[in-house]
């Protein structure tokens, strides 16, 4: 089920059988010369929606949390970021809203490495509210918060490494660009060339430093290898892996 195109009665029924919801969470940030700015939000959204199409009764997909932590990309036009504390506040509000309805297991399906720390800090912030409260130890509902990065499954990483044995890199990778090309084939940019072919590696600080060290935005990657066909394979593998993981999480 997809929450944004469901009715409240649908969700009421869902809650009679499950307390789990999957929330795609990403970022809006430059992805090099041929990657979309929305890549990190689109990837988990694309995969989650594909998973839902495979098993509509087994998974509830919420709206996409589409702007995350991307301050280091602000040197590149189009990037939009939240401050970590704003992101924690927003995730807290989403979580409290869902808890109000009876959800107890929130599976944040993440598309951006730069979100990881803030997502986990948000979990601590949310749990802290409960931990400080001496009341309710006995009878309050449970709350499980889990983050899973879409690429961080053995089958998914194995496939990506097989498809792009050279120049996978860590930002603006061929695998994530391929996933978006699969979903938006008309917007693919096969013509874009890059130099050097494989981008440099390095450390991440603020936006000025990042643009100086990574002039076209990529880190360690050669995304000229991206194509929609590969993307389809990755989406397939990732959707299956995620469905199994969500089933375990809900058990």
Give the one residue of 187, 191, 195, 251 binding its own copies; rule: CB under 8 A.
Answer: 187
Least CB distance from residue 211 to its own copies, whole Å? 9
Q: How far is the CB of 218 from its own copies (least distance, A)?
A: 11
Taking CA atoms, 100 is separated from 154, 170, 191, in Å, by: 35, 38, 49
Here's the x/- map for its own copies, 29-68, by CB under 8 A: it reads as: -xxxxxxxxx--xx-------------------xxx-xx-
CB-nearer residue toward its own copies: 12 or 229 = 12
Contacts of 249 (CB under 8 A, 6+ apart): 20, 105, 107, 144, 146
By C-beta, is 217 or 231 nearer to its own copies? 217
Number of residues that bind its own copies (CB under 8 A): 89
| Region 99-128 residues binding its own copies, contact defined as CB under 8 A | 99-102, 114, 116-118, 120-122, 124-125, 127-128
**Residues whose CB is less than 8 angstroms from the CB of residue 202 and which lie 6 or more positions away in sequence, other chains included:** 213, 214, 219
By CB under 8 A, what part of segment 128-147 binds its own copies? 128, 130-132, 134, 137, 140, 142-145
Q: What is the CA radius of gyration of the chain?
A: 19
- Cβ proximity to its own copies: between 162 and 187 the closer is 187
**Distance in angstroms (rounded) separating the CA atoms of residues 128 and 105:** 17
User: b or e along 43-53 (b: 16 or more beta carbons within 10 Å of the residue's beta carbon)?
Assistant: bbbbbbbbbbe
Residue closer to its own copies (CB basis): 116 or 157: 116
The backbone torsions φ and ψ at residue 86, rounded to the nearest 5 degrees and listed phi first, read -65, -40
Binding status of residue 4 toward its own copies by CB under 8 A: yes
Choose one: 3-11, 152-160, 194-202, 230-238; the region binding its own copies (CB under 8 A): 3-11
In the range 155-174, which residues lie near its own copies by CB under 8 A?
none
Nearest-approach distance from CB 29 to its own copies, in angstroms: 9
How far, CA to CA in Å, does 169 sit from each of 51, 97, 197, 218?
26, 37, 11, 8
Q: Write out the two tokens for 160.
A: 């990506």
* Residue that is written with structure tokens 């594909």 in the block: 50
């Amino acid at each position: 089920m997809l929450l944004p195109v469901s009715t409240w009665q649908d969700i009421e029924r869902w809650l009679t059988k499950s307390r789990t919801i999957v929330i795609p969470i990403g970022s809006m940030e430059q992805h090099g010369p041929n990657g979309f700015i929305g890549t990190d939000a689109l990837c988990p959204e694309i995969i989650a929606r594909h998973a839902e199409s495979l098993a509509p009764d087994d998974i509830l997909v919420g709206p996409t949390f589409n702007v995350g932590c991307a301050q280091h990309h602000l040197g590149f036009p189009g990037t939009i970021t939240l401050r970590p504390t704003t992101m924690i506040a927003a995730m807290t509000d989403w979580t409290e809203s869902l808890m109000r309805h009876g959800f107890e297991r929130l599976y944040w399906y993440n598309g951006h490495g730069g979100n990881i720390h803030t997502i986990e800090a948000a979990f601590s912030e949310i749990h802290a509210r409960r931990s400080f409260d001496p009341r309710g130890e006995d009878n309050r509902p449970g709350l499980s918060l889990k983050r899973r990065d879409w690429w961080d499954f053995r089958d998914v990483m194995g496939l990506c490494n097989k498809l792009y044995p050279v120049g996978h890199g860590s930002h603006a990778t061929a695998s994530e660009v391929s996933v978006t090309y699969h979903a938006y084939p008309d917007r693919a940019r096969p013509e874009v060339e890059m130099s050097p072919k494989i981008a440099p590696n390095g450390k991440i600080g603020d936006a000025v430093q990042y643009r100086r060290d990574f002039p076209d935005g990529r880190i360690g990657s050669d995304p000229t290898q991206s194509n929609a066909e590969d993307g389809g394979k990755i989406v397939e593998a990732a959707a299956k892996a995620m469905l199994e993981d969500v089933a375990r999480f809900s058990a």
